[in-house]
Amino acid sequence: MKIDELDAKIVELFTADADIGVLAASRKLGVARPTVQARLDKLKKTGVIQQIAPILNPAKFGFPVMAFVSVEISQNVGHVSVGAALEVIPEIVEMYTVSGDQDVLIRIVAESNDDLQRVLDSISRTGAVTRTRSAIVLQTHFQNRVLPLFNVVGRKRVEALER
């Protein structure tokens, strides 16, 4: 999908304020409301925007400990079965199948270090996991940093059109 400067501005605006609404966005951008709605619909339909939703901060509702865990799985199990086994553990907030020495990378949150141990034990008890290695996050500098990348694509398209 080709992204232009208006698409980039719309995404940036809704990223900064998901509650803004289409009418307020159209006024702020100086374009017609149906234009903003059509662009949002197109971005959603093509999957560029997966959803407009609140971004929850687990630390603010009782889960201040975060860790990244590399997981080795039983080779006779497969990643789909592991995904199903791990999905039932609510403290696992992300899961990726990866290449390299490990098979799966997950991000988990916990109430405390003791609670982190409980979650790691739950992961090990699934029967699909042979080993875990964890790294506790000490400080988050940024996360979900996709908007700058999206803006780069928009700028490149505008520059190409200007040539």
Contact in structure between 141 and 98 (CB atoms under 8 Å): no
Q: How far is the C-alpha of 113 from the C-alpha of 64, rounded, in Å? A: 10
Residues 42 and 74 in one domain: no
pLDDT tens digits for range 25-47:
999 999 999 999 999 999 999 99
- What CATH number is associated with residue 4? 1.10.10.10
pTM of the model: 0.78
CB atoms within 10 A of CB 116: 21
3-state secondary structure of 49: coil
Residues 48 and 68 occupy one common structural domain: no
CATH number, position 82: 3.30.70.920
pLDDT at 160 over 70: no
Residue 152 located in a structural domain: no
Q: Which of 54, 76, 94 is the last residue of a domain?
A: 54
Alpha-carbon gap, residue 13 to 50, rounded angstroms: 16
- Domain-terminating residue out of 12, 39, 54: 54
The answer to whether 55 and 87 are in contact (CB under 8 A) is no
Q: Tell me how far apart the alpha carbons of residues 73 and 130 are, in angstroms, rounded to a whole number.
A: 5
Statement to judge: residues 62 and 48 lie in one domain:
no
124 plus 102 within the same structural domain: yes
Instruction: Examine the pLDDT at 155 and tell me if it is beyond 70.
Output: no
User: What pLDDT, on the 0 to 100 scale, is given for residue 19?
Assistant: 87
pLDDT given at position 161: 58
Does 162 map to a domain?
A: no
Q: What are the pLDDT digits (tens) for 88-117?
A: 999 999 999 999 999 999 999 999 999 999
Which pLDDT score, from 0 to 100, does residue 28 have? 95
**CB burial class (10 A; 0-12, 13-18, 19+) of residue 151?**
middle
Counting every residue written for the chain, the total comes to 163
Domain that holds residue 45: 1-54
Amino acid at position 79, single letter: H
Asked whether 136 and 66 are in contact (CB, 8 A), the reply is yes
Tell me which H or E stretch contains 26: helix 22-29
* Mean pLDDT across 149-157: 71
70 φ, ψ (degrees, to nearest 5): -90, 135
Q: Percentage of the chain surpassing pLDDT 90?
A: 61
Q: Which pLDDT score is estimated for 154?
A: 64
**What domain count does the chain have?**
2
